[in-house]
Amino acid sequence: MGRPDGVVDRACGRRHEQAVKSILAAWPILAGLAAAPVVGSETWEAVVLPSEQEVQIDPVSGARVVFATTHPGADSNFYFHERCFLHNNRMMLFNSDRFGRTEVMAYLLDTGELVRLTRPQEASLGSRVASVKGDRLYAVKQGGLHEWRLDVTTSPETRVRVTGRRLVDLPAGAQQRSSLDENCDGSLLTFAYLLDGEHFIGFYDVVAGRLLPPARIGFKLDHLQFHRNRPDLVSFSRTYETGGDWAPLDPPDPTRARLWTLHRQVRQPLPAFFQAPGELATHECWWVRDQMTFIGGHHHEGSREEGAVKVLDFKTGEIRIIGSGAWVEGVPAEQLSQVNWWHAAGSPDGRWVVADNWHGIVALFEAQTTRKRILTTGHRVYGSGGHHPHAGWDTKGEYVEFTSNKRGNPDVCLVAIPTGW
């Protein structure tokens, strides 16, 4: 696919000649990046555990909340922009420490059964992502990229067979950072790493089975993710040493840019927009039609802050509010945070944006009208330090998945969008 420069450049104000000149500067020394040979695969039977799910009806919305896990251990969903459902929606991946360490497990939507994918004697997976093609996932483990193919059968009894193989070694000495992600057509994987004090974004060609030239970024980054339908475009957040997600007011910093994009072939990081002094921009997530959701606001004082759900349109550079937040002088942080938001993600069908906040309220905003519907409540106690919901989506826009603390410890939940909404 050709470069989407005409879309991204207008939003970011980049001149074409600057990008071309930056190619040589962005190309690091490739020593140590040769792909390691693919080693032989190995297959094992995963342990299938009985269903432990519990169903509750939310008292506010009437929505059916399925607690996929109810174990006393800590179970949590993937981060809100990380794909956790297999391509056909029949299996959801999640994190669990119930075996004494953090492992990736799976929940079967048809039966409610759980699956322990990792064998007890092997190393746990690091960053991981469900693939857009077939029943498989990719992960970072022991200094390399791995592929796990899943053979799932539910009749006459449930069996899950895992076939794993090491795809390639990471660059020698690299310290992997941020997410592992797969692009929209399944042809590339991306990952971020630190090497000799420099920050890079790496790319792995799934078809060719080799690493591609990485991009030197020049600053610490996080939230790495591919565009939802442009296979060569990634976004990421810049981690600043001062101010965090907020652009400083004193002294003012008019060049602060939390959100960035990068084209895989050009390898030049570009700011999505510059924050005004005192402006919040955080927790971005690609959506449909070259749009990105994020949380933004212009008021901040200690633990009191304004957090609206915003949408950035890369075609026009325009930013609009789809889920309003609030700022009222003198209102305590605990009360103010009930009507502000902290994470948001758009549904893959373009109908909704889901958002959560510090009180564990999960709400939906209609894409066309911005109408707010409270989906479910009470999944976090403000100030408790408990897990955030990190609400995200399945692959079709039928389910919202999140982490709940309602039962006293972290559990993974699913809510189907109520009929008629």
Please give the pLDDT value at position 22: 38
Name the percent of the chain in helix, strand, coil, to the closest 5. 5, 40, 50
Please give the pLDDT value at position 33: 38
User: Structural domain of residue 281, as residue ranges?
Assistant: 5-24+54-416
Domain contains 372: yes
- 260 φ, ψ (degrees, to nearest 5): -135, 160
**For residues 171 and 202, is the Cβ–Cβ distance under 8 A?**
yes
- Beta pairing partners, 323: 309
**For residues 295 and 283, is the Cβ–Cβ distance under 8 A?**
yes
Domain contains 35: no
Can you tell me whether residue 249 is helix, strand or coil? strand
DSSP secondary structure letter of residue 388: P
Domain contains 40: no
Domain contains 44: no
Please give the pLDDT value at position 171: 95
Domain contains 132: yes
Please give the pLDDT value at position 385: 86
From the list 203, 211, 150, 149, the residue with the least C-alpha distance to 181 is 203
Please give the pLDDT value at position 413: 98
Can you tell me whether residue 167 is helix, strand or coil? strand
Please give the pLDDT value at position 31: 29
Other Cβ atoms within 10 Å of 20 Cβ, number: 11
The Cα 217–Cα 280 span in angstroms is: 22
The Cα 292–Cα 259 span in angstroms is: 10
Please give the pLDDT value at position 8: 34
Q: What is the pTM of this model?
A: 0.88
Sign for the pseudo-dihedral over CA of 25, 26, 27, 30: positive
Domain contains 36: no
Please list the ranges in the chain whose pLDDT falls under 50. Answer: 1-38
Please give the pLDDT value at position 243: 80
Domain count, the chain: 1
Domain contains 305: yes
* CATH number for 333: 2.130.10.10
Domain contains 130: yes
Please give the pLDDT value at position 363: 98
